[in-house]
Structures are given as structure tokens and as C-alpha cells.
Amino acid sequence: MSSVQVVEAKKERGPLNGVDTPKLFATINVVKGQPDLAKFQFRATNRWVKGTHSRSRIETFSGAGGEHRHTGEIEFNADHPEVLVGSDKAPLPVEFLLHAIASCITSGIGNVAAARGVTLTEVESTVEGDIDVRGILGLSDQVRNGYNEIRVHFRIKGDAPPEKLQAIVEQSTARSAVYDVLTNGTAVRVTAEATRG
């Protein structure tokens, strides 16, 4: 057996694409036996800075039976661009939906490919979303406030036939949390505590 073959055999059993596949399968098995561990709560806090500029912190979440604190990036700004009378410190809130859908399906692609023994070499995507801003400007009740359509296009390369790579994108989309929310919607409750001061 050549050293190349040894390395390949090892890759199939162990982590692939930077995904710790054995740990992923172990996690799935543990949750299968204890469904309560599957209950997650994600959180953000946001503070208005000025005009259309605000800043969020995404610090803690609960799940897998405990409380957790993120160790990576946690602070994110959002703003309107000048053409929409903002100061353009950061992307618009609606643009973060595009980051969310692309990154969610891409995370899934990393995981699903690893689970299927496919080594990926490249995954890139472009996302476009169309909005008629007459809705948010209050100029028309016939025009919705949000996106009319979002299009995500992937370019994926790996050591498998194109059909197998396509199927990985399809499975990742079918199991994407962001895809589900953006296509089906969810309940959003907004409350406020107002004080003169």
C-alpha cells in the first residue's frame, strides 16, 4: 500500500473538509436519544447609535442542555447607505439576510459533503435580492416591504461527479434553517417598553 493510499483511507474514516465527521455523527446520535438537547435559543442585543446606524452583539445562546458564550466575532453594525439617507457604516439590515442564507447553506454543504465522503475544493456563491423600496418609504400599500425574490447561485467543486455535488447543495438547502425561515416565514413578536426621558 502506498503512503498516498494510507492517507486516503484515513481521510475517509476521520474528519473531512474541516468537519469533525465522527463528532458530528456522535452528536446526532446523542440528540436522537435525548430530544431535549435539541432545544436551542439564540439571542442578540442591539443598541441604536445614530440615524439609521445600530450595533448588535451576539454573545450567548442556550442549547444542548446548557448556556454557551461565543468565542469568535460578536459585534455587528448595520446602517442605511447614503442613497437611502444613512451614513453607510455597514450594510443594510436586509443585506444581512443574504449573508445568512449563503452562509447557512454553505455550512450545510461542508457538513453534508463530509458525511458523504466528498472532499470539497471550492464552494462559492452569489446572492441577489430584489426590493421595491416604495414599500418601506410608505409610498404604496400594493408594494411589499421586503424582498420579492432572492436568488442564490453556487459554484461547487470536489472529488465527486457533478450530480453528487448538486445533490449535496440540494440536501443542504432542504435542511437549512435560514432557507426555512426565509421561504416559510415564522412568528415574530415585537414588544416595547417606552419611557419619556
Chain positions 73 to 102 lying near a copy of itself, rule: CB under 8 A, are: 73-74, 76-81, 83-102
Calculated CA dihedral for residues 85, 91, 94, 96, nearest 10 degrees: -170
Instruction: Closer to a copy of itself by CB, 1 or 193: give it.
Output: 193
Q: Which H or E element spans position 174? A: helix 162-174
Name the region of 70 (left: φ>0; alpha: ψ -120 to 50; beta: rest).
beta
Is residue 34 at the binding interface for a copy of itself, with CB under 8 A as the rule? no
Give least dist CB 10 to a copy of itself, A: 18
Q: How many CB atoms lie within 10 A of CB 154?
A: 19
| Terminal Cα distance for the chain, rounded | 77
Instruction: Closer to a copy of itself by CB, 3 or 69: give it.
Output: 69
Is residue 14 at the binding interface for a copy of itself, with CB under 8 A as the rule? no
Whether residue 100 contacts residue 129, with contact meaning beta carbons closer than 8 Å, is answered with no
Report 99-118 residues binding a copy of itself (CB under 8 A).
Answer: 99-111
Is residue 12 at the binding interface for a copy of itself, with CB under 8 A as the rule? no
Whether residue 160 contacts residue 123, with contact meaning beta carbons closer than 8 Å, is answered with no
Give least dist CB 60 to a copy of itself, A: 11
Report 140-179 residues binding a copy of itself (CB under 8 A).
Answer: 143-163, 165-166, 169, 173, 175-179
Give least dist CB 97 to a copy of itself, A: 5
Which amino acid makes up residue 167? A
Instruction: Closer to a copy of itself by CB, 94 or 117: give it.
Output: 94
Q: What's the gap between Cα 120 and its chain centre?
A: 19
Instruction: Closer to a copy of itself by CB, 6 or 40: give it.
Output: 40
Name 183's Cβ contacts closer than 8 Å, sequence gap at least 6: none
Give least dist CB 99 to a copy of itself, A: 4
Give least dist CB 30 to a copy of itself, A: 10
